[in-house]
Structure 1
Amino acid sequence: MDDLETLLAAGGSTALLAVRGREVVYARGFHAHRSSVASVRKSLIGILYGIAVAAGEIDLDATLGDLGIDDLTPLTPQEKQATVADLLKSRSGVYHPCVYGMEPGRPARGSHAPGTFWYYNNWDFNALGTIYRQQTGRTLAGAFQEYVAGPLQMQDFAVEDVFDVPGPQSRHPVYKMRLSGRDLARVGVLFLEGGRWEGRQVVPETWVAQSTRPLTDLGGGRGYGYLWWTAEANAPGDDLSTDWPVFYASGAGGQYIIVIEALGLVVVHRAADVDKGIGHAQMGRILRALLRIIA
């Protein structure tokens, strides 16, 4: 049976934090240090989408064609039929080169109609950044400060921690984010409490529920919602699974926000050096070792 301290000492982990009922029940490492959250950024930007959709600024049923979204190599008429909801579910069917693209395994263009096939697609995620800026008139950095960091009273966030990185592959830049572990824990608590923070409904409860349920069944008890992952209890297809269902935000190298609703628990793991972090299976071992101590 894995020992938690041994697992954390094995390398890669720089912070592990567990919060229950707004109380820290486990802490190890450097929780105020801001570093790249990698693909956790996608789940975080999803918060801004929930707020903008509720405000009527973004229509989930609007297509790329409706919104005038295109790229350096023009999108086909079929690709332009992808909706905002399709992008949020990573089911756009747009397999165009993108900044920070994942070339190996990318389907051929035109091989799947919008909405019919799930593929973890950075083109979708980058285009969501463009759509948000275009439809709201706000930068992602300014919006995150106003609608998330401010209301959640984040301790370490600075507006320059959200920034765009352009590239020659596409007209849609990748958006990058740096946050601390304790600020990420606030996001986990926000979602655990149905989008509320200290009595204020920061993000609609219906959006939280929709985002964190398996809108796409990935098999083996694993699913994908709106930019969040899900795992059933003891899901054989997800190395992160536990005796309880979980939903989580995940980024390369060991960046995680994990929520276990049945336990009222939020777990955050950080690896400041993404290239020397930990893998998904190791995170599962760490999580289960932690639960043996605090669950």
Structure 2
Amino acid sequence: MEQEKVKALEALIQKDYSNTAGVAVLKDGEMIYEHYFNGCSADSTIHVYSVTKSIISILFGIALDKGYIKDVRQNVLDFFPDYTIKKREKTIQHITLEDMLTMAAPYKYKFAPYFKYFTSNDWVTFTLDLLGGKGQIGDFRYAPLIGPDILSGILIKATGQSVFDFAAENLFSPLGIHVEQNIVFRSKEEQMVFNKATNISGWVTDESGTNSAGWGLTLSPMDMAKIGQLYLNEGMWHGRQIVPASWVAASTKEHSRWQQQNLSYGYLWWTDVDKDHSYAAMGDGGNIIYVNPEKKIVVAMACLFVPRAKNRLELIDKGFFD
């Protein structure tokens, strides 16, 4: 990047995006910009919030390719044969993996019961009890935290491994990404420390060992950039097909739409996020993995959480990385 562009970019980040921890930008597979803020470094690991969802999507693509899962049209309850359906509950029987992956599954709660969720020792069963109800299957309903953990439960049932172990073996290790440990919170205070930390490497689990699917993973900006480059390469990494190209294409095209926000959604990826038909994994605080196939650009930004953080797509759209 030209020095003048770099100066302007960093001044803008300091002014309007001051919670940024680090930025890594790849173009044509080469690093063109990497910089850290707020005392962070290349070794810093940040809680990337809902970017975790897109990692779960990748793991589903791998699980399908390996034959652990037959089809995204399988019913959710196929994987939980011992689950007891509540009386008069009919909708849950018809919800598929694809409904879950596209945020098109209904839930019984109007306001998310976060306290009960965080204090539950089995997030999968807790969430299954809230799945279904009177809502329509196919209507977009974004479930930030309470909902996606069912997908973790499905991966565990299908693969016979924890999500952490399956990800380490089939995604993280091949890409040179190191996620250190599973993390269980023993108190609200521990969770608050985790959310603000820059030196904790891990993936949150409930007490039963199920990794969170909608949040809870820590990554460095370079880790995030590798994920983006893997998708830009249609699932290929150093000559090895990590994720089927067909899954990369399917997961990053529109399957559902959040009409109120005019946002399109794939399989746990936001699609068509700008005029260049790019796609992104996005999480609270401004965390983002942005992929532009036309320009062959990947922009990864890890951010410290602040409420109502400015949209990083607006920063990316300013053309600093073109």
Band the TM-score falls in, shorter-chain normalisation: 0.7 to 0.9
Go from structure 1 to structure 2 and tell me whether the alpha carbon gap of 1:139 and 1:173 turns closer, same or farther (over 3 Å shift).
closer
Is 2:153–2:210's contact at 8 Å kept on the other side of the alignment? yes
* Residue 109 of structure 1, CA deviation: 5.9
In the other structure, the counterpart of 2:150 is 127
Which whole-Å CA distance do the structure 2 matches of 1:221 and 1:207 have between them?
A: 24
**What do the CA deviations read for 1:91-140 (whole angstroms, capped 9, x no partner)?**
12233557369xxxxx99633232x2111123331100111111111111
Does residue 56 of structure 1 match 2:76?
no
Go from structure 1 to structure 2 and tell me whether the alpha carbon gap of 1:73 and 1:178 turns closer, same or farther (over 3 Å shift).
farther
Go from structure 1 to structure 2 and tell me whether the alpha carbon gap of 1:259 and 1:205 turns closer, same or farther (over 3 Å shift).
same
Is 1:18–1:26's contact at 8 Å kept on the other side of the alignment? yes
Which whole-Å CA distance do the structure 2 matches of 1:264 and 1:277 have between them?
A: 31
**What do the CA deviations read for 1:203-248 (whole angstroms, capped 9, x no partner)?**
110000000011113357631000000125xxxxxxxx3x422100
Residue identity matched to 1:65:
L
Among 139, 142, 151, the alignment partner of 1:117 is 139
Which whole-Å CA distance do the structure 1 matches of 2:283 and 2:249 have between them?
A: 21
**DSSP 3-state at the match of 1:263:** coil
In the other structure, the counterpart of 1:136 is 159
Go from structure 1 to structure 2 and tell me whether the alpha carbon gap of 1:123 and 1:74 turns closer, same or farther (over 3 Å shift).
farther
Go from structure 1 to structure 2 and tell me whether the alpha carbon gap of 1:280 and 1:137 turns closer, same or farther (over 3 Å shift).
farther
Q: Which runs of 5+ in 1 are unaligned?
A: 102-106, 233-240
**DSSP 3-state at the match of 2:258:** strand
Among 237, 244, 248, the alignment partner of 1:208 is 248
* Residue 149 of structure 1, CA deviation: 1.0
**DSSP 3-state at the match of 2:141:** coil
Is 2:256–2:265's contact at 8 Å kept on the other side of the alignment? yes
Which whole-Å CA distance do the structure 2 matches of 1:108 and 1:159 have between them?
A: 29
Residue identity matched to 1:129:
S
Which whole-Å CA distance do the structure 1 matches of 2:211 and 2:167 have between them?
A: 17
- Percent identical among aligned pairs is 25
Which whole-Å CA distance do the structure 1 matches of 2:53 and 2:253 have between them?
A: 16
Does residue 229 of structure 1 match 2:259?
no
The size of the alignment, in residue pairs, is 270
Which whole-Å CA distance do the structure 2 matches of 1:55 and 1:257 have between them?
A: 26
Residue identity matched to 2:48:
V
Is 2:179–2:203's contact at 8 Å kept on the other side of the alignment? no
Once the two structures are superposed, the pairs formed by residues 1-295 of structure 1 within 5 Å of their partners are 3-10=8-15, 11-29=18-36, 30-59=41-70, 60-68=72-80, 74=86, 76-96=89-109, 99=117, 110-114=133-137, 116-121=138-143, 122-154=145-177, 156-160=178-182, 161-165=202-206, 174-175=212-213, 176-219=216-259, 222-231=263-272, 241=274, 243-271=275-303, 273-274=304-305, 276=306, 279-281=309-311, 283-289=312-318, 291=319, 293-295=320-322
> Normalising to structure 1: TM-score of the pair?
0.82
Go from structure 1 to structure 2 and tell me whether the alpha carbon gap of 1:108 and 1:34 turns closer, same or farther (over 3 Å shift).
closer
Which whole-Å CA distance do the structure 2 matches of 1:70 and 1:44 have between them?
A: 27
Which whole-Å CA distance do the structure 2 matches of 1:108 and 1:84 have between them?
A: 13
Q: Which runs of 5+ in 2 are unaligned?
A: 1-6, 124-129, 183-201
Residue identity matched to 1:118:
F
Instruction: Name the one with the larger strand percent.
Output: 1
Go from structure 1 to structure 2 and tell me whether the alpha carbon gap of 1:21 and 1:8 turns closer, same or farther (over 3 Å shift).
same
> Normalising to structure 2: TM-score of the pair?
0.75
Q: Which runs of 4+ in 1 moved over 4 A?
A: 69-73
Is 1:71–1:172's contact at 8 Å kept on the other side of the alignment? no
* Residue 8 of structure 1, CA deviation: 1.0
Is 1:195–1:202's contact at 8 Å kept on the other side of the alignment? yes
**DSSP 3-state at the match of 1:266:** strand
Residue identity matched to 1:74:
K
Is 1:127–1:172's contact at 8 Å kept on the other side of the alignment? no
* Residue 180 of structure 1, CA deviation: 0.8
